[in-house]
Structure 1
Amino acid sequence: MAEYSILIVEDERTLRRLLEYRLGKEYNVRTAENGIEALELLSEEVPDLIISDVMMPKMDGFALQAAVQERQDTKATPFIFLTAKVDEDSRKKGQMTGVDDYITKPFDIDQLISRVNRLIERTKVFQTQLDEKIGQDFSQKLTPKTMPSVSGYTTHVHNVPKGHGGGDIFDWTETRPGTYFITIGDVMGKGLQAKFYAFSFYGYIRSTIHTMLGATDSPAELVAGVNKALVNDTTMEDTFASLLLIRWEPERNTITYANAGHCRPILVSERGAEVITYSDIVLGLTPDAEFKDTSIVMKPGTALVAYTDGVTEQVTKSDVLLGEEGVVDVIQKAYGHADPLDAMATGILDVSKQQEFSDDVLIFWLQRLTAIDRQTPRWFSPFRDVAKGS
């Protein structure tokens, strides 16, 4: 199915059918006999380009183009005039109204197709640049600029959006002195739409935590509150998300978390790595979903590693997904490096089919230091945003 659509407005039946046939080989084409019919079609779906005759019954091309310019959803749509009028006044009038091209009849159909392709390509480049700019802006807003600085612990974050990104979320907040809530989530979907939903979802999480903290600090109950708000909001209908909500209490050396269908976190130490197996259903399925708190004591040298599915879904040289087992292997090899996330990224790409990540990648590494670690200086690569506790 063609990616881009064109609306042809032409009262001459033979020419209209010819244009529909030739352009229909590359684009989704709809046709109208006059401006009034064209406006009705515009109300149903906005095309990527409009080709219109000038002289037509009921509503001519100039009136149609003026109506297109008045609508917010079509104001930027490229517009080509086809006309038998060769006088300079008509051409100037078309140019003054913002027409992108002005082709005089009779014309070479291949020349018209070439101009159409050029305008569509310009639209494609502009839209890609706009999407990437908006996506980058959202990615920056969805990622904190700093990390907690906590004696005896070190934190590392690797967040690399792919293109204009998807729905990965990372956030932290200190709810009371010495208690931190860390949020890692993924709104299902790709591209800019997922990023918009991720931004809304991010708002749900923050508002729910701040609203409910007076009554509970249970990650499971907070996740249930986020889920209920998500399900009951009609603007987020059919939006599903995974969420890992962690309560970190460094003075007690404990982590308590609730996992709503997110990639299962991994504990790693010098003794090896293990997957924390418990996980509940994703958010957005049912308002009455229940979630469970799981607590872990962080022993010296132990690290908790959480990540999004861009890591597990990386395709390896064997044409299979890296998967959870592959992630465990990479984490074990990265453990002990001064910069474990740089080592992880290198390890993943070493076994990947392509030497770049194919999707958004977000990894969080939280490690309790040993007495020796505290005396050993660490360096950090500019590969990703990193904050380190003292």
Structure 2
Amino acid sequence: MQSTSSRIITVPLILLLSLAGGCASDIPPSGGAGNTGQLQLISSYPEPSSVNVSTSTIRLTFNHDITALQLLNALLISPSIGEYDMTTNGKAAELRLDSALARNQTYSITINKTLRDNQGRTLAVPFTMAFSTGIVIDNSTISGKVINNDFSPAINALILAFAEQKNNADKENLLTRRPDYVIQAEASGDFSFKHLTAGSYRIIAVNDRNNDLRFTAGSEEIGLSSIAIIPTGSVDLLFRLSRIPKSAQPVTVNYAATSSDTGSISGRCFAAGQETIVEALSQTASCSTTASRDKKGIFTYSFPALPPGTYTVNAFISSKSKNKEAKPQWNPGSIHPYQPAEPFGYYPETITVRPRWKTDHIDIHIKNAL
């Protein structure tokens, strides 16, 4: 089988992916029988977990032919290595760095699930490896989960980590700042940074449709943590992506129900805070209630008369400024000026409500609430 060689010269990040289409003219290899196995990275230089690395070249070898543009759109290196030339030749890719790697720095290379070979095969899961130019590899971690607005796993989300800038924390703009670390969520929505420099970070989740490693308002969904500054070692973080604003507003369906054709959902909420709002949402109904705290300090809630349907149930800790609202809405926060999301949790499975049917023990845990 013949292979073709392609070359891409990187440009500054803000232009990188918007101009990449004009930098490559790859032609897939022709002839020969195709291998139907899953796309995999089979070797790399530096090798995973290497230390004392001193190189101006990074090499990646796959089990199927790829192109430079395909790899460029899927390759994430944290922290940034600056500009580089990328060439591919069949299954092999090479990055030639324009500047030297930083001393005593751990670098993470992530290849996300958007990478496709010339036959459309993809990686089963995002691939991540690390190497260090020093004698040790940073192993500080932060982990959590990203869900869509409808509580399904956000399988395409990128998670961006920004090292805390203590002297500029109140003025920094995450809309324009380059992230220090980037990874992609797994199919379950779970993510884990495994090679962070110890410290604290602001972290956001983005459905990065235009591949620019930033949030673009109006065309992309974003999720913020309920914790403004997240220390390494944090676990069970939860991010819910916001909806993209639309001109059309949802239609409210009024349902005249009687006790004979409704069902109920009840349970507990394990949370800190003064007030917890619980929502039961279906395609045709949206109900909310305020959970009450029992003698043991546990919130309990009940929806005694829900129209039949399939529901998701979630809860959030309402901010004090919204306590007087007739129906408080969950606040997803703001990226600029930065405001954390209200702490929330959700029941991981949908609940089917049937007439005259009681569903109990739908318990919700709200974690990482400060």
Q: Please indicate, yes or no, whether the TM-score normalized by the shorter chain is above 0.5.
A: no
Determine which structure has greater relative contact order: mean sequence separation of CA pairs < 8 Å that are 6+ residues apart, divided by chain length. Answer: 1
TM value normalised by structure 2: 0.24
* Structure number having the greater helix percentage: 1
* Structure number having the greater strand percentage: 2
